[in-house]
């Protein structure tokens, strides 16, 4: 039996609330994950928690080993991933303290290892509708049941970090109509998609990004941390509640079947080929 079925990328605050937490070290073909994976049972579900920045927040966003983190979750048996994060707002109506359940992303990172499919079997996985609709619906319902302002859709633009945006960059993102800005959703969420795991993002809005509005102060790391800490209990309770609402049968959340149609060398396919999604991992 797998050791976990639902994975959570987030801070140490999640698993510190729970009893009987086990710590597991996971080797991956891509090097070490950000930290140990912490295993626990929540609402009768087997859950794995992994702090994406390390338990002491020592890994900046551009140094996170996203492939190792995602591979570790899948190797433990996870089929669904909840990916909460702190984020900035690019639109006035998306106020600090509210949550956004994103349905699209825009990648503005560079140099990050962002695929498991490096050949020799060429594979093209589409992220057109990457965030899973069932998980998104459940997340929206859970957030609203907790009395938190929830934006049901939103595009998150993912920047390289660790620096924040310039005012001109922020205005550009705002003018495109995008709602959320973050540094970790790509390639984390997309890599989950590549390994057939359904994924949902919950963005906790901590600030207005620089340059969005004339009367908004430029964001600082201290501002982000202050708002996030004041709302940390809210996001923890939402995530823990959401776990219990995810269907027991995860076949409707897994995206493994879709991977069968992503191969780019169909004209030269052979029955003897051994492809990643056909291995024991997937």
Active site residues: 207, 209
Cβ–Cβ contacts within 10 Å for residue 281, how many?
Answer: 14
Alpha carbon distance 36, 149 (integer Å):
33
Alpha carbon distance 114, 188 (integer Å):
8
> What is the bridge-based pairing of β-strands 180-182 and 80-89?
antiparallel
Alpha carbon distance 186, 184 (integer Å):
5
- Closest listed residue to residue 158, CA positions, set 131, 129, 133, 188: 188
Alpha carbon distance 213, 250 (integer Å):
43
* Beta strands in 134-271, from DSSP E residues, in sequence order: 150-151, 155-159, 180-182, 198-208
First to last CA, the chain: 14
Alpha carbon distance 222, 204 (integer Å):
16
């Amino acid at each position: 039996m797998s050791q976990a079925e639902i994975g959570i990328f987030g801070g140490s605050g999640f698993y510190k609330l729970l009893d009987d937490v086990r710590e597991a070290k996971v080797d991956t073909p891509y090097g070490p994950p950000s930290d140990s994976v912490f295993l626990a049972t929540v609402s009768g579900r087997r859950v794995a928690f992994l702090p994406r920045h390390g338990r002491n927040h020592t890994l900046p966003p551009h140094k996170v080993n996203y492939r190792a983190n995602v591979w570790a979750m899948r190797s433990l048996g996870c089929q669904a991933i909840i990916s909460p994060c702190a984020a900035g707002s690019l639109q006035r109506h998306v106020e600090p303290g509210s949550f956004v359940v994103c349905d699209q992303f825009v990648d503005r990172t560079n140099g990050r290892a962002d695929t498991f499919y490096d050949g020799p079997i060429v594979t093209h996985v589409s992220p057109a509708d990457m965030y899973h609709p069932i998980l998104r619906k459940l997340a929206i319902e859970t957030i609203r049941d907790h009395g938190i302002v929830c934006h049901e859709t939103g595009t998150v633009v993912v920047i390289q970090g660790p620096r924040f945006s310039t005012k001109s960059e922020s205005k550009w993102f705002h003018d495109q109509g995008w709602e959320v800005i973050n540094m970790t959703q790509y390639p984390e969420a997309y890599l989950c998609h590549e390994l057939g795991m359904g994924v949902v993002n919950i963005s906790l809005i901590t600030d207005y990004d620089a340059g969005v509005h004339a009367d908004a102060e430029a964001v600082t790391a201290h501002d982000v941390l202050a708002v996030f800490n004041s709302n940390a209990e809210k996001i923890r309770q939402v995530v823990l509640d959401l776990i219990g609402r995810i269907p027991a049968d995860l076949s409707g959340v897994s995206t493994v079947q879709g991977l069968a149609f992503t191969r780019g060398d169909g004209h030269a396919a052979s029955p003897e080929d051994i492809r990643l999604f056909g291995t024991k991992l997937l």
